[in-house]
């Protein structure tokens, strides 16, 4: 087992129709093929030959991230800290200039070397428009780093639940649901089926056009026996897209804290569906499209795995929904509550603040 922890400051200058795929031509390897840590770096480079995955050095990562500048820090999850970087076209031949996300494995975190290795193995060998692109990795001594394409809109979790963000329009939500479903269907229908096992809003990244891409394959496994667990997780995220609520929210009333338990009984009743739809949509969504999406979520969330649809069927149901237009209800006007009006009136020449601003 590899030990140690890579910290940025330590770097020195030294069925239905099959989904469209972009499968690599070589034989896919599995975790068991790379069980010897002492030969890991060499084994990876040989196994991923021809996959267009670059092996970066620590000095190169320092250049890419401007010495891991705090201004480039994007966040930190169970895997470790993530920095934004930029690859200059002069860095090395064959690498185009592009912004990237650089993720460092912190072995003191909730994920470890095995999860890092799974990420390299799966994203290094699988290509699809709805899987985040792995550009390269670093495997030097105890240091483990992954370099991805940069996704400017961050995660679906941030876009959907961030308090002060603009609400995602219905068209973006259906686009995200469909794209994420295509990504899962591709994994399930690969020559060696892959069970994602960690499908959630925080692992769905969005580009500038809200195209979703699945990330974080640390928990993924080869196999086909438990693919319906991914379908259930998809149903949870679809429900979050419909309601604008987190799957678990302890700040809500007791009976509403578990989203699935509260909302699922209402999904099959068109007369009650409006009660759970995200109020931030301001009614601007296709009623027919919402009903179809809700009925699909109900099926995905079945307590009996065999009753859940396959992801390819999910795709076939969601695909027509992208053509359902939002219902225009006119411009939205925010009115300051009367009791807050006086305290929000600014002095002449000063900027007016909203009721929720500090």
CA distance 96 to 73: 22
- For this structure, is 198 an active site residue? yes
**Spatial contact of 293 and 318, defined as CB atoms under 8 Å apart:** yes
Please give the pLDDT value at position 28. 57
Given this model, what pLDDT does residue 46 score? Answer: 54
User: Would 8-149 and 156-323 be classified into the same CATH topology?
Assistant: no
Quote the pLDDT of residue 350: 42
Where do the domains of the chain lie? 8-149, 156-323
Q: What is the pLDDT of residue 329?
A: 43
Place of tokens 């193995």: 121
Residue in 33, 106, 198, 319 annotated catalytic = 198
pLDDT digit string (tens) for 172-188?
A: 999 999 999 999 999 99
pLDDT of residue 105: 82
Separation of alpha carbons 48 and 25, rounded Å: 11
The CATH number of domain 8-149 is 3.40.30.10: no
Report pLDDT for 358. Answer: 35
At 239 the pLDDT is 98
Q: Return the pLDDT at 355.
A: 36
| pLDDT score of 109 | 57
pLDDT of amino acid 175: 96
152/150 Cα distance (integer angstroms)? 6
Contact 91, 65 (CB under 8 A): no
* Residue 206 near residue 159 (C-beta atoms within 8 A): yes
CATH code at 156-323: 1.10.510.10
Per-residue CA distances from 187 to 22, 81, 125, 221, 263 (Å)? 11, 27, 12, 10, 28
Low-confidence ranges of the chain (pLDDT < 70): 1-51, 78, 107-111, 224-225, 325-358
């Amino acid at each position: 087992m590899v030990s140690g922890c890579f910290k940025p400051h330590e770097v020195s200058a030294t069925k239905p129709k099959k989904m469209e795929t972009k499968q690599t031509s070589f034989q896919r390897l599995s975790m068991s093929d790379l069980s010897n840590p002492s030969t890991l770096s060499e084994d990876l480079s040989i196994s991923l030959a021809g996959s267009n995955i670059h092996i970066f050095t620590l000095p190169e990562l320092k250049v890419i991230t401007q010495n891991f500048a705090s201004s480039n820090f994007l966040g930190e999850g169970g895997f470790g800290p993530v920095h934004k970087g930029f690859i200059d076209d002069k860095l090395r031949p064959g690498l185009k200039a592009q912004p990237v996300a650089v993720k460092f494995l912190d072995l003191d975190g909730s994920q470890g070397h095995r999860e890092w290795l799974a990420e390299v193995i799966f994203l290094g060998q699988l290509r699809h428009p709805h899987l985040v692109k792995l550009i390269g990795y670093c495997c030097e001594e105890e240091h483990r780093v992954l370099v991805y394409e940069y996704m400017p809109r961050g995660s679906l979790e941030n876009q959907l639940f961030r308090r002060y963000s603009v609400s995602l329009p219905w068209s973006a939500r259906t686009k995200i649901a469909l794209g994420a479903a295509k990504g899962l269907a591709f994994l399930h229908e690969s020559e060696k089926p892959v069970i994602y096992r960690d499908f959630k809003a925080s692992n769905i990244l969005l580009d500038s056009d809200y195209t979703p891409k699945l990330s974080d394959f640390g928990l993924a496994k080869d196999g086909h026996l438990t693919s319906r667990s991914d379908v259930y997780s998809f149903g949870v995220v679809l429900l979050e897209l419909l309601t604008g609520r987190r799957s678990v929210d302890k700040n809500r009333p007791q009976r509403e804290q578990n989203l699935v338990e509260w909302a699922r009984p209402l999904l099959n009743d068109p007369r009650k569906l409006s009660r759970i739809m995200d109020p931030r949509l301001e009614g601007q969504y296709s009623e027919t499209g919402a009903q179809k999406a809700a009925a699909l979520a109900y099926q995905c969330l079945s307590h009996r795995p065999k009753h859940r649809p396959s992801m390819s069927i999910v795709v076939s149901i969601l695909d027509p929904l992208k053509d359902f237009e939002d219902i225009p209800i006119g411009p939205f006007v925010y009115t300051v509550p009367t009791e807050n009006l006086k305290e929000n009136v600014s002095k002449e020449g000063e900027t007016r603040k909203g009721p929720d601003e500090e």
